[in-house]
Structure 1
Amino acid sequence: MFETNNSGGFNPKLPRFFVLGFIAIIFLLITGGNMFYTVNPGEKAVIFKRFGGGLDKDLVVPQGFHFIAPWNKVYIYNVKIQEDYEAMEVLSKNGLSIKIDLSFRYTPNVSQLGYLHDLVGEDYLESIIRPEIRSVTREVIGEYLPEELYSTKREEVEDKVFEITSKSIADKYLFLDAILIRDVTLPQTLQAAIENKLRQEQEALEYEFKLLKESKEAERKRIEAEGISDFQRIVTKTITPQLLKWKGIETTQELSKSPNSKVIVIGNGEGDLPIILGGDK
């Protein structure tokens, strides 16, 4: 453990493994924070290998606790469906300025995350998705009149912007989940004119509905009257004087059988029905 030095004293001789262990501890203290990382739920990671060929584009690191060589670098991506908002001013088909607010949902292509990192990088929202949505929205809205955007064509605009933008960013390893127009703001005078026009159109539709309803009611009454008329005509043809006389006789016979009455029947002339003059209870 000890050896004599030139001056006659002793130098402690440390075992080699103590020295190596000490060096290893110092190394871990310096680099330990760079050797471990955690990929949380809703995240994936890619690794840049400094001495191993650079970015491994085909490797997508899953969730969990992982080790990494201290000279390599890890990039962690949020792969959840995320939502963002955009407000802009665009021109309509007739050149009027329109303010539009929309929201959009997006996510990176998880299986191609390494290729996304190599082609675009972590700031893909600001560098790719947002500029593309702005450009396509301006292009699509330029095909419509303000009143169409305000009322009947909003869904159609959403579908067109979504379809064109989705195709544009797909080759950059990005997915678009939805684009929703939240609000369309027109110049105040134009908005008032459109609202007035829509109100008049609604009143016209209500008036047409009332006319149709009255027409159907009149048709129903006409059919009902025709039915009653047909019924009366058929009944009139079947009722003869002989039938009436027979029914009168039957009714008189039934009344005469009542124990609470005294019936006096007197002929009322040739061919006439009997007459009941009275009775006691």
Structure 2
Amino acid sequence: MERLPRAAIFIIIGVVLFIIVLIKSAVVIDAGQAGVLFKLSDGVELENTYGEGFQIIAPWNDMIIFPVRQLSISDRMNVLSVNGLEVSVDATVWYQPEYDKLPYLYKEKGRDYVNEILSPAISAAARSVVGRYTPEQLYSSKRDVIQAEILDEVRKELESQYVQVNRVLVKDVTLPEKIKEAIERKLRQEQESLEYEFRLTKATKEAERQKIDAEGKAVANQILSASLTDKILTEKGIEATLKLAESPNAKVVVVGSGDSGLPIILGNQ
């Protein structure tokens, strides 16, 4: 087998080295990600955040890639209410690193910034907010208020920390079983009391309505009685007698008059 020319050997070595350098230099950043360049000469490049796509770097440098789309973290925390009772809060937080400040985040907080700063901030905010309320308030009508206040507290904790918190969702607040049962009994009693007051109010209004209706009828009867004289009654009786006499189904027999002076009508078919 003939030996390869020395020039060919150098060419092969050069091609291999070129491929190695190309592999080390080519970086692909996927959608929803961004890169921070670490230079061997002077450390993190703070001026630039590298966006998604194909990037070429020096082979002795390193590209650290972070997800920059919205992410979420869920945690279940045991905190104390305003009266010292332990409450379990199950919360989810949506967050994302600040794109333009990504190099600073990496330089000051490192890759594991979620455990370094985000989780402690969430726990501190939950303790601060839940500690303002009683178990009854936590269990009933304060859920939306608590979410908003935890969000404000987390944002304060992470101010100038290069992490943006978008939303907080409190999925569940778990109280000690005895406290929960006592609160449910109290809520049932309050509901029953409200229902009883409603029925009582309804009955009172109905009684007032009937009283007003009866008083109105009494006044109307008094007015009617005062206006009915004997002459008017006689005239009305004559009118009624004439209408009855005009009926085709009636046979009229007049035999004098009654006590009131009106004719007496007998017989019909």
Aligned partner of 1:96: which letter?
L
Residues of 2 paired with 1:121 and 1:176: CA distance? 18
In the superposition, the TM-score normalised over structure 1's length comes to: 0.80
Match of 1:99 in 2: 88
Match of 2:26 in 1: 36
For each residue in 1:74-98, what CA deviation from the matched residue of structure 2 results, as whole angstroms up to 9, or x when unmatched?
2222122222221222223333333
The aligned residue for residue 227 of structure 1 is 216
Determine helix, strand or coil for the equivalent of 1:214.
Answer: helix
- 1:244: how far off? 2.8
State the distance in 1 between where 2:248 and 2:185 align.
Answer: 80
- Structure 1: where are the runs of 5+ without partners? 1-10
Aligned residue in 1 for 2:17: 27
The Cα shift of 1:99 comes to 2.7
User: How big is each residue's C-alpha offset from its partner over 1:213-259, in whole Å with a ceiling of 9 and x where there is no partner?
Assistant: 22222222223323333433343344433333223222222232334
Task: Pick from 44, 63, 68 the counterpart of residue 55 of structure 1.
Answer: 44
Say what the alpha-carbon RMSD is for the aligned residues: 2.9
Post-superposition CA distance 1:67-122 (Å, at most 9, x none):
33323322222122222221222223333333332222211122332332233233
Which of these residues, 171, 178, 182, is aligned with residue 167 of structure 2? 178
User: What secondary structure, in the 3-state scheme, does the structure 2 residue paired with 1:170 have?
Assistant: coil
Structure 2 residue 226 is matched with structure 1 residue 203: no
Contact 2:258 2:264 in 1 (8 A): no
Give 5+ residue unaligned stretches, structure 2: none
Aligned partners of 2:72, 2:149: CA distance in 1, in Å?
19
**Matching residue of 1:6:** none
How much has 1:170 moved relative to structure 2?
Answer: 2.8
- What's the TM-score, normalizing by structure 2? 0.83
Q: How does 1:89-168 map to 2 (within 5 A)?
A: 89-168=78-157
After TM superposition, the structure 1 stretch with the greater mean CA deviation from structure 2, 237-246 or 98-107, is: 237-246
SS in 2 for 1:28: helix
Q: Distance in 2 between matches of 1:56 and 1:260?
A: 116
| Residue aligning to 2:76 | 87
The whole-number CA distance in structure 2 between the counterparts of 1:115 and 1:225 is 84
The structure-2 alpha-carbon separation of the partners of 1:42 and 1:242, relative to structure 1 and needing over 3 Å to count, comes to farther
**SS in structure 1 at match of 2:36:** strand
Secondary structure in 1 aligned to 2:84?
coil
For residues 70 and 6 of structure 2, the distance between their equivalents in structure 1, rounded to whole angstroms, comes to 62
Distance 1:103 1:244 in 2: 86
Measured after TM superposition, the shift of residue 23 of structure 1 is 4.6
Corresponding letter in the other structure for 2:79: V
Q: What is the DSSP-based 3-state SS (H/G/I as helix, E as strand, rest coil) of the residue aligned with 1:88?
A: strand
User: What amino acid is the match of 1:242?
Assistant: K
- Distance (Å, rounded) in 1 between the aligned partners of 2:100 and 2:232: 95
Give the counterpart of 1:240 among 229, 236, 248.
229
Letter in structure 1 aligned against 2:89: I
Of 68, 76, 84 in structure 1, the residue corresponding to residue 65 of structure 2 is 76
Give the counterpart letter for 1:37 in structure 2: V
Listed as ranges, the matches of 1:246-261 within 5 Å are 246-261=235-250
Quick one: structure 1 residues 191 and 13, their matched pair in 2 at CA, closer, same or farther if it must change by over 3 Å?
closer
- Offset of 1:131 from its aligned partner? 0.5
SS at match of 1:62: coil
CA spacing shift, 1:194–1:271, aligned 2, 3 Å: closer
Change (3 A) 1:109 1:234: farther
1:8 is matched with none
| Aligned-partner Cα distance in 2 for 1:13–1:88 | 70
Aligned residue identity for 2:204: S
Aligned to 1:3: none
